[in-house]
Structure 1
């Protein structure tokens, strides 16, 4: 699972770089062709440039087609790596993918974090601490409050954040919780901290 994530992160980074290079080269081509391509969505731009006829159209157009086909190839790699990650997670902990907002990438990150630290996982609270979502007291005088934990595994913390943001967008129960806590005077940052802690407990 770890090597799949490593390969996917590399492919995503290379795809982003190739797409940025494609857009940079776009600025140097014939104005008529540039006007035709400007404003296209990324998928449409890549598909159109990959199908360009490069005969006698200069090095810039040839380079654009080359970069577009590189983006397509890397996108295929990302899809295949996602499928394999999904399969690996289902073979290990299939029930994780049944939870709202938990996709194969987030599940893989959390499983890797847990697998790297089995000696630290005595209960669900220790998993929350490992992920950096255990509450930290920051009280002063009569003011009782907690803040985000800046420690823990940052990739696991980011995975929990993605799960929470997905739930805020799509999960009605989470949306109602957000509304209720906001009405009680909690900031969105504090609410997200509570939700990450809840997701850690659920996982």
Structure 2
């Protein structure tokens, strides 16, 4: 305990200079990757919202939409038209479905455009990565961004696991078996 206190005091007493992130290509890839990830997460949330709207829609509309695949649902809902002869509830449900579907389409287009830009940057700064089996634009970008920040990973195995290319899952050495309580008294 004394060693821990001494180490903490020593760490607090020394001045730590913060190192800024490297600028340039790596930072460009990092911000594009973050923007794409945000678009993908927002698209997933919008898809979940669309499914919830379909479940709560009127029976006739729900029956019409449930038989379609997800991409077909998005396309169909994006093209729904208002009809003044319908009840307010039905019109607003159609409005919500259309708005949500259009948001999904926009976010998916945005994610694809960002991925194309990432692919272009990877072609410029790490073209050999894309020739490897199973490495696409996103994984290659993750590798290039992560590798350019020294000290982020302790070893190559941690880096490979992060990049999703580790052949064996990382383990602490502990087994997954739960220890069963014994009915025998311990000695």
- TM-score (structure 1 length as normaliser): 0.62
Q: Which residue is equivalent to 1:92? A: 125
Cα shift readout 1:151-179 (whole Å, capped 9, x = no counterpart): x35xx524334xx7xxxxxxxxxxxxxxx
Structure 1 distance, partners of 2:120, 2:83, is 43
Match of 2:164 among 160, 167, 171: 160
Q: CA deviation at 1:4?
A: 0.5
SS at match of 1:55: coil
Q: Which residue is equivalent to 1:30? A: 58
User: How large is the RMSD of aligned CA atoms in angstroms?
Assistant: 2.0
Q: CA deviation at 1:130?
A: 3.5
The structure with the greater share of residues assigned to helix is 1
Q: Which residue is equivalent to 1:9? A: 37
Structure 1 distance, partners of 2:107, 2:51, is 17
Cα pair distance change 1:106/1:44, threshold 3 Å: same
State whether structure 2 residue 46 is matched by structure 1 residue 42: no
Q: Which residue is equivalent to 1:181? A: none
Cα pair distance change 1:130/1:77, threshold 3 Å: farther
Q: Which has the higher contact order (CA 8 A, sep 6+)?
A: 2
Cα pair distance change 1:106/1:70, threshold 3 Å: same
Larger radius of gyration: 2
Question: What residue ranges of structure 1 are gaps of 5+ in the alignment?
Answer: 121-126, 134-151, 165-191, 195-203
State whether structure 2 residue 46 is matched by structure 1 residue 18: yes
Match of 2:95 among 62, 77, 83: 62
Aligned residues: 136
- TM-score (structure 2 length as normaliser): 0.67
Question: What residue ranges of structure 2 are gaps of 5+ in the alignment?
Answer: 1-28, 85-89, 170-187
Q: Which portions of structure 1, spanning 4 or more consecutive aligned residues, are displaced by more than 3 angstroms?
A: none
Cα shift readout 1:66-118 (whole Å, capped 9, x = no counterpart): 0000000001001100100000101101111011110010000011111011x
| Matched ranges for 1:1-203 at <5 A | 1-56=29-84, 57-117=90-150, 130-131=155-156, 133=157, 152-153=158-159, 157-161=161-165, 192-193=167-168
